[in-house]
Amino acid sequence: MCGRRPGRRPGLIAMTRMTFSILGAGRLGKPLGRLLVRRGFVPAGISCRTLRSAKQAVAFIGAGRPTTSNAEAAVGASLILIATPDRAIGSVARELSDSGVRWGGRIVAHTSGALASGALDPVRRRGALAASLHPLASIADSREGLRRFQGIPFAIEGDPRAVRILRRLVTTLGGLPVTIPRQAKALYHLIACLVSNDLVALLSFGLDAGRGLGLGRREAGRLYLPLVLGTVENVMRLGPVKALTGPISRGDVATLRLHGEVLRSLPADFRKLHRLLSLRATALALEAGTITPEIAARLARLIGSLP
Ligand SMILES: NC(=O)c1ccc[n+]([C@@H]2O[C@H](COP(=O)([O-])OP(=O)(O)OC[C@H]3O[C@@H](n4cnc5c(N)ncnc54)[C@H](OP(=O)(O)O)[C@@H]3O)[C@@H](O)[C@H]2O)c1
């Protein structure tokens, strides 16, 4: 039943030809499974809520047994990766712990950014080595997910032996293992959401405002997204203080007044967000020394009076 020989110590699980299962093979689970196969890991069961999804996942991964039973998928694997939505992880852990499968020495890891390995306590109590393994990447489409793993950080925490093995696994996949303490995971994930998901929402505001220029989202994207890429590159190279350009960094009060006139035509939540971010930009410009405290105060007053 267990993927390693009885009596063999879990810390000695061999990396090559290591057997793995993926429970919940969606946008993340599928490319992760495929990459593991490419690196010589051997898939056991692949489970999803529906058999149709599980079969599609196996076709994508290139091997494995499709099933809707998580316990059945896990049998025969020494590494069990739970890549279901966060809300299902607790119930999957209970399902595994109640399944009668022997967990001693196997690694059970989930891929949630916000939850810690404590979510796997039911199966940990049965002897599994529990961990969390979170690739800090945004995988919207499984097909381009493979590329996304290269050189990206994977946050790992959990039982020390599991962490050691997962760190080696991440390196084998081309990622960078990083340690995030379990008590810091919610904050770690909140920051990821702010700089990634919230950025997507912010961009959607901008692209929708392109309607005023007669542009659809796609056309507005072609016009503005190269600017976004350049800006992110600048932040990577210089940090946010030196990367800030634009009228606030130059203290161009008249330009901000001009913007104020067109802001009226935009939705209230767009205007609120713009005011909030403009105040933050003013603080960055002050920190950069490109505006004086007097100009910063004038800008702050003007921003506060914007519609
Ligand atoms: N996508 C990302 O960018 C990303 C990045 C890092 C970490 N993560 C983490 O990875 C996990 C999965 O995210 P995702 O974006 O890949 O989700 P997803 O695309 O929605 O895929 C979830 C998969 O889980 C299956 N599933 C749902 N409930 C299940 C259950 N009780 N038992 C077995 N399978 C179940 C679904 O099956 P059906 O298709 O049959 O419904 C689906 O295949 C989350 O913890 C997320 O925080 C995601």
Helix axes of 253-263 and 293-305: crossing angle, nearest 10 degrees: 10
Residue 109: give the domain boundaries.
Answer: 10-180
**Does the beta carbon of 112 lie inside 6 Å of ligand 1?**
yes
In-domain check, residue 4: no
Burial class (CB in 10 A: 0-12, 13-18, 19+), 269: exposed
CA distance 82 to 75: 14
- Say which DSSP state 154 is in: E
Whether the CB of 25 sits within 6 Å of ligand 1: yes
In this structure, are residues 303 and 278 in contact, taking their beta carbons and an 8 Å threshold? yes
Report the distance separating Cα 43 and Cα 246, nearest Å.
Answer: 52
Angle, in degrees to the nearest 10, between helices 268-288 and 253-263: 170
123 within a domain of the structure (yes/no) = yes
The β-bridge partners of 134 are 155
Q: Which pLDDT tens digit goes with each residue over 49-96? A: 999 999 999 999 999 999 999 999 999 999 999 999 999 999 999 999
Question: Tens digits of per-residue pLDDT, 90-133?
Answer: 999 999 999 999 999 999 999 999 999 999 999 999 999 999 99
Q: Do 166 and 296 fall within a single domain?
A: no
80: β partners: 21, 108
**Helix ranges (DSSP H) in 18-139:** 29-38, 51-61, 70-74, 86-97, 121-124
* pLDDT band, very low/low/confident/very high, at 145 (cuts 50, 70, 90): confident
Span from the CA of 48 to the centroid of ligand 1 (angstroms): 9
- In this structure, the answer to whether residues 176 and 212 fall within a common structural domain is no
Least confident of 13-17, 56-60, 296-300: 13-17
Confidence at residue 13, expressed as pLDDT on a 0 to 100 scale: 52
CATH assignment at residue 54: 3.40.50.720
* Closest by Cα among 123, 129, 125 to 105: 129
Does ligand 1 come within 6 angstroms of the Cβ of 148? no
Model confidence pLDDT, tens digit, residues 173-225: 999 999 999 999 999 999 999 999 999 999 999 999 999 999 999 999 999 99
The verdict on residue 188 lying in a domain is no
Question: What is the mean predicted confidence (pLDDT) over 270-282?
Answer: 97
Task: Specify if 148 maps to a domain.
Answer: yes
At 14 the pLDDT is: 60
How many A from CA of 211 to the centre of ligand 1?
34
Instruction: Report the share of the chain in percent with pLDDT over 70.
Output: 95
Task: State phi, psi for 162 to the nearest 5 degrees.
Answer: -65, -45
- Half-sphere exposure at residue 108, Cβ-oriented, CA atoms within 13 angstroms: 37
- Indicate whether 185 belongs to any domain: no
Same-domain status, 119 and 207 = no
The count of other CB atoms within 10 Å of the CB of residue 9 is 9
3-state secondary structure of 274: helix
Q: Are residues 173 and 206 in the same domain?
A: no
Q: Residue 12's pLDDT is what? A: 39
Give 197's contacts (C-beta < 8 A, 6+ positions apart). 138
Q: Are residues 239 and 166 in the same domain?
A: no
The tokens for 56 are 């599609």
Domain count, the chain: 2
Helices 198-209 & 268-288 angle (0-180, nearest 10) = 110
CB 271 near ligand 1, within 6 Å = no
Whether 189 lines ligand 1, by a CB cut-off of 6 Å, is no
How many Å lie between the centroid of ligand 1 and the Cα of residue 136? 15
Mark whether 257 and 176 lie in a shared domain. no
Q: If DSSP codes are grouped into helix, strand and coil, which group holds residue 129?
A: strand
On the question of pLDDT at 18 being above 70, the answer is yes
Indicate whether 97 and 175 sit together in one domain: yes
Q: Output the CA 49–ligand 1 centroid distance in Å.
A: 10
